[in-house]
């Protein structure tokens, strides 16, 4: 998966959600850090949707093992599965040797890397947003930035940074968490964001302010981000 076109990912901790996600999603984001036996689940997976494998760092909102080496080893093992077309690795990890090695191993298996940054405290100024997106895009096939919006100005800054990054040729995925930024999940793709995330079940949201999958798919269809017959 090269992410040249927008990808809507169904975020879930269980691959058993894939049949329900299939009518709406282009991929499954498998939150391995929230699953009991993630590698076994991948071994048993026979769904149609490709997988973005995530083993989120506790420092960025996840529940993976605190040991960095162990956490990245799970990502590396996941990338060997045929269904896994991309892995999500935090930019902070990719800047170290262990993260860089995990990304290289994933690419050897044909999987792309989503280099991610999460800010649960707020939204940096637009200059900092642009710098973070540039750095993330430099370390991965897609640079992902999720911030927390406290007002519409934060959301606007993120959308502007998204357009700027896209104009310079970077593949990025952006979203503002929280109610003030909720609409960015639908409109950020209009400014170039390449990946959107939504839970199949709204009760199982993996980030603040997420729409459920069916709702976000409908909004994206109506905005013309995805063909209506997807």
Each residue's pLDDT tens digit, 76-132: 999 999 999 999 999 999 999 999 999 999 999 999 999 999 999 999 999 999 999
Residue 180's domain is classified under what CATH number? 3.20.20.70
pLDDT of residue 208: 78
Domain-located, residue 230: no
Is 118 a residue of the active site?
A: yes
Q: In 3D, which of 77, 13, 81, 7 has the Cα closest to residue 46? A: 81
| Domains contained in the chain, number | 1
Q: What is the pTM of this model?
A: 0.95
Domain-located, residue 2: no
Q: Given a cut of 70, is residue 230 above it in pLDDT?
A: no
Query: Residue 57 — pLDDT band, cuts 50, 70, 90?
Result: very high
Q: Given a cut of 60, is residue 229 above it in pLDDT?
A: no
Domain-located, residue 143: yes
Mean pLDDT of the chain: 95
Query: Residue 209 — pLDDT band, cuts 50, 70, 90?
Result: confident
Domain-located, residue 78: yes
Domain-located, residue 1: no
Is 194 a residue of the active site?
A: no
The whole domain housing 176 covers: 7-221
Q: Given a cut of 50, is residue 65 above it in pLDDT?
A: yes
Domain-located, residue 229: no
Instruction: State the catalytic residue, choosing from 24, 139, 144, 194.
Output: 144
- Mean pLDDT of the 31-51 span: 97
Domain-located, residue 228: no
> In sequence order, what DSSP letters do the residues of the chain get, joined into one string?
---SS-EEEEEES-GGGHHHHTTT-SEEEEEGGGSSSHHHHHHH---SS-EEEE---GGGT--S-S-HHHHHHHHHHHHTSTTEEEEEEEHHHHTSHHHHHHHHHHHHTT-EEEEEEE-SS----HHHHHHHHHHHHHHSSEEEEEEE-SSHHHHHHHHHHHHHHHHTT--EEEEEESGGGTTHHHHGGGGT--EEEEESSGGG-SSTTPPPHHHHHHHHHHHTSS-TT-
Measured torsion, CA atoms of residues 211, 157, 168, 115, in degrees rounded to the nearest 10:
-50
Each residue's pLDDT tens digit, 1-34: 889 999 999 999 999 999 999 999 999 999 999 9
pLDDT of residue 202: 80
- Mean pLDDT of the 216-222 span: 96
- Mean pLDDT of the 155-160 span: 98
Domain-located, residue 148: yes
Instruction: State the catalytic residue, choosing from 24, 81, 109, 118.
Output: 118
């Amino acid at each position: 998966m090269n992410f040249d076109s927008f990808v809507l990912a169904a975020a879930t901790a269980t691959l058993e959600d894939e049949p329900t996600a299939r009518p709406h999603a282009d991929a499954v984001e498998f939150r391995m850090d929230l699953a009991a036996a993630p590698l076994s689940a991948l071994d048993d997976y026979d769904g149609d949707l490709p997988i973005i494998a995530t083993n989120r760092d506790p420092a960025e909102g996840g529940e993976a093992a605190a040991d960095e080496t162990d956490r990245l080893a799970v990502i590396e093992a996941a990338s060997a599965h045929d269904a896994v077309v991309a892995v999500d690795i935090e930019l902070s990890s990719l800047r170290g040797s262990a993260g860089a090695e995990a990304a290289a191993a994933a690419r050897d298996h044909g999987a792309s890397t989503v280099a991610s940054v999460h800010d649960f405290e707020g939204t940096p100024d637009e200059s900092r947003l642009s710098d973070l997106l540039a750095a993330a895009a430099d370390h991965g096939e897609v640079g992902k930035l999720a911030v927390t919006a406290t007002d519409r100005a934060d959301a606007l800054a993120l959308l502007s940074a998204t357009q700027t990054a896209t104009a310079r040729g970077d593949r990025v995925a952006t979203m503002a968490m929280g109610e003030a930024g909720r609409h960015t999940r639908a409109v950020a793709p209009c400014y170039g964001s390449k990946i959107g995330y939504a839970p199949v079940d709204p009760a199982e949201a993996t980030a603040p302010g997420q729409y459920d999958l069916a709702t976000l798919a409908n909004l994206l269809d109506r905005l013309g981000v995805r063909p209506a017959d997807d």
